[in-house]
Homo-oligomer: A and B are copies of this chain.
């Protein structure tokens, strides 16, 4: 294949059924092979609450104990992944839904630092481009849940933004890759209250300054770091709203020094 489009849809898109269906209408119309990475949204937290499992977040990342890993595996790789696949099939878009363990597409290693234990959280180690290419010759879309494995039988919870960036970066070795982060804002904005303040081109050289001045919020920063990671590997990265998949709206990441 010559080009691949990697699309990441955020949890806040998945949480709104009408928005999700609209996004799936749009992605089903993509006329090149594509990889759809989805987040989890509020469903996993809801299920954890119903089951009496406490949810702890640190720096926007969920701490994954054994019970939470079960929950996210069920919700992400089961309910959300299969619902999206069935919805794409209904739109005549042949799709296959996987997690990182399937065909060994994304292998990870359990994160551990001296200061903090994130539990069963996985940092991506390897993306199996051959397997993804073979799958994309068979179906139009591979839908990927942000669950990985360590190769020794352990499933791990991996940030969906990171997963999308790592997959896009790896695939850029064999294809022209676009990565589109679809979330609930029209892009990276100078003022959160003003949709017209979207930064059309975000230059890597300006990110630190924008972060220091608080324009790029703490919650937004990991997404942008992931975007930069992919852009640095040669991926064309855009961050946009749920109606912008087939437009050029939103924020493009620029790695040149302007």
Cα distance, A195 to B87, chains bound together (Å): 47
What 0/1 pattern do residues 217 to 246 of A give for CB contact below 8 A with B? 000000000000000000000000000000
Give how many copies assemble into the complex.
Answer: 2
Known: A50-B51, A138-B103, A151-B90. A97 touches B98 (CB 8 A): yes
Residue pair A151, B89 in contact (C-beta under 8 Å) = yes
On whether the beta carbons of A90 and B51 are closer than 8 Å, the reply is no
The binding surface of chain A is classed by DSSP as helix
List, in ascending order, chain B residues with CB within 8 A of A97's CB.
98-99, 101-102
A interface, size bucket? 35 or more
Mask: chain A, 74-100; 1 = CB below 8 Å from B; 0 = not:
111111011101110110001111110
Given the interface contacts A51-B50, A89-B153, does A147 sit within 8 Å of B98 by beta carbon?
no
Q: Is A135 close to B, CB under 8 A? A: yes
Let me know if A42 is at the binding interface, CB within 8 A. Answer: no
A85 to B139, CA, bound (A): 20
Q: How far is the CA of A114 from the CA of B15 in the complex (A)?
A: 36
Pick the contact of A101 from B86, B104, B155 — CB < 8 Å?
B86
Q: Is A211 an interface residue (CB 8 A)?
A: no
A178: CB under 8 A from chain B?
no
User: By CB atoms of chain B within 10 A, which of A81, A82, A87 has the most?
Assistant: A82
B74 & A78 in contact (Cβ 8 Å cutoff) = yes
Name the residue of chain B whose CB is nearest to the CB of A155: B86
Interface check A131, CB cutoff 8 A: yes
Contact of A82 among B87, B101, B134 (CB under 8 A): B101
A55, CB-defined interface residue at 8 Å: no
Chain B: minimal CB distance from A170 (Å): 18
The reply to whether B103 and A96 form a contact with Cβ atoms under 8 Å apart is yes
Neighbour of A147 across the interface among B73, B75, B82, B134, CB < 8 A: B82
Chain B nearest CB, measured from A167 CB (Å):
16
Q: What does the 1/0 interface line of A135-154 toward B look like (CB < 8 Å)?
A: 10011000000010101111
A78's partner among B75, B96, B104, B151 (CB-CB below 8 A) is B75
B89 near A101: Cβ-Cβ < 8 Å: yes
A76 and B74 alpha carbons, distance in the complex (Å): 8
Cα A135 to Cα B135 with chains together (Å): 8
Residues of chain B with a CB closer than 8 A to A134's CB: 138
- 8 Å CB contacts to B: which residues of A33-90? 47, 50-51, 70, 73-79, 81-83, 85-87, 89-90
Within the complex, the shortest CB–CB distance from A117 to chain B, in Å, comes to: 21
